[in-house]
Amino acid sequence: MVAFVPTTRAGLYRSLRIISIPLFFAIWELVSHSGIVNEFLFPPPSVVAEALFEWAVHGHLLLDVGMSISRVVVGYILGATLGVAIGIATARYPALSSLLTPIFQVLRPIPPIALVPIVILWLGLNESGKYFLILWAVFFTVWIATHFGVQRVDPLLIRAAQALGTPEHRMLREMLLPGALPYVFVGLRTSLSVAFYTLVAAELAGAFAGVAYRIDIAHENLRIGLMMAGLVVLGLISAGLDLAFEGWARHVMRWR
Amino acid sequence: MGAACDAVALMPAPPVTVPRATLAADASCRVGYDLAPARGAIEINNLSIIFGQPGKEFLAIDRVSFAIKPGEFICIVGPSGCGKSTILNMVAGFERPTEGSVTLDGVAITKPGADRGMVFQQPSLFPWKTVRANVAYGPRMAGLLDRDAYCLADQYLEMVGLAQFAGNYPKTLSGGMQQRVAIARALVNRPSVLLMDEPFGALDAQTRAMMQETLLRIWADNKTTVIFVTHDIDEAIFPGDRILVMSASPGRVVLDIPVTLRRPRSTDISLDRLFLSIKKRCLEIIRREILSAFERQAQASESNHS
Burial class (CB in 10 A: 0-12, 13-18, 19+), A240: exposed
pLDDT, residue B303, reads 77
As its CATH architecture, domain B3-305 has: 3-Layer(aba) Sandwich (3.40)
Q: How many domains does chain A have?
A: 2
How close is the nearest chain A Cα to the Cα of B4, in Å? 25
The answer to whether the CB of A145 falls within 8 A of the CB of A183 is yes
A107 shares a domain with A23:
no
- Provide Rg for chain B, Cα atoms: 20
Q: Does one domain contain both A53 and A33?
A: no
B250 prior amide bond cis, ω within 30? yes
Q: Please report, for the domain that includes residue A117, its CATH number.
A: 1.10.3720.10
pLDDT tens sequence across B79-123: 887 889 999 999 999 999 999 999 999 999 999 999 999 999 988
- In this structure, are residues B260 and B230 in contact, taking their beta carbons and an 8 Å threshold? no
Cα–Cα–Cα angle for A77, A81, A85, rounded to 5 degrees = 175
What ipTM did this prediction achieve?
Answer: 0.84
What is the rounded radius of gyration, in angstroms, for the C-alpha atoms of chain A?
23
Interface of B with A (CB under 8 A): 17-18, 92-94, 111-114, 116-118, 120, 122, 124, 126-130, 137-138, 141-142, 169-171, 185-186, 189, 195
Integer Cα distance of B143 and B19 in angstroms? 10
Quote the crossing angle between the two packed helices A61-92 and A211-220, to the nearest 10°.
130
A21 and A82 co-located in one domain: no
Same domain for A8 and A112, yes or no, is no
Domain match, A156 and A61 both: yes
Say whether both A18 and A119 belong to one domain.
no
Lowest mean pLDDT across A1-15, A63-77, B10-24, B96-110: B10-24
For residues A188 and A146, the answer to whether their CB atoms sit within 8 Å is: no
Q: Are residues A195 and A96 in the same domain?
A: yes
| pLDDT of B55 higher than 90 | no
A5 and A48, same domain (yes or no): no
Q: Which residues of A touch B141 (CB under 8 A)?
A: 164-167, 170, 174
A36 and A50 share a domain? no
For A170, the closest of B94, B128, B141 (CB atoms) is B141
Give the per-residue pLDDT at B38: 58
Banded pLDDT at B125 (limits 50, 70, 90): very high
| Domain boundary assignment for chain B | 3-305
Q: Does A155 touch chain B (CB under 8 A)?
A: no
| Nearest-CB residue to B120 (from A160, A178, A179) | A160
CB pairs under 8 A between A and B: 70
Q: Are residues A106 and A208 in the same domain?
A: yes
* Contact state of B141 with A165 under an 8 Å Cβ cutoff: yes
Residue B18 has pLDDT above 70, yes or no: no
Residues of B with Cβ-Cβ distance to A161 under 8 angstroms = 126, 137
Instruction: Note whether A111 and A5 are same-domain residues.
Output: no
Instruction: Give the chain A residue nearest B194 (alpha carbons).
Output: A163
Q: Which residues of B touch A256 (CB under 8 A)?
A: 127, 171
Q: What is the DSSP letter of B251?
A: B
Q: Could you tell me the residue range of the domain that residue A27 belongs to?
A: 1-40
> pLDDT band at B246, cuts 50/70/90?
very high
Q: Residue B142's closest chain A neighbor by CA?
A: A165
Q: How close, in Å, is residue B118 to chain A by CA atoms?
A: 6
Shortest Cα–Cα distance, A185 to chain B (Å): 14
Q: Is A253 on the interface with B (CB under 8 A)?
A: yes
pLDDT tens digits, one per residue of A178-237: 999 999 999 999 999 999 999 999 998 888 899 999 999 999 999 999 999 999 999 999
In chain B, what residues touch A182 (CB-CB under 8 Å)?
Answer: none
Q: Is the pLDDT of residue B191 over 90?
A: yes
- Strand extents, DSSP E, B142-224: 193-197
Are B147 and B90 in contact by the 8 Å Cβ rule? The answer is: no
Task: Answer yes or no: do A218 and A125 share one domain.
Answer: yes
Question: Which of A157, A164, A178 is the closest to B114 by Cβ?
Answer: A164
Q: Considering chain B, what is the average pLDDT of its residues?
A: 85
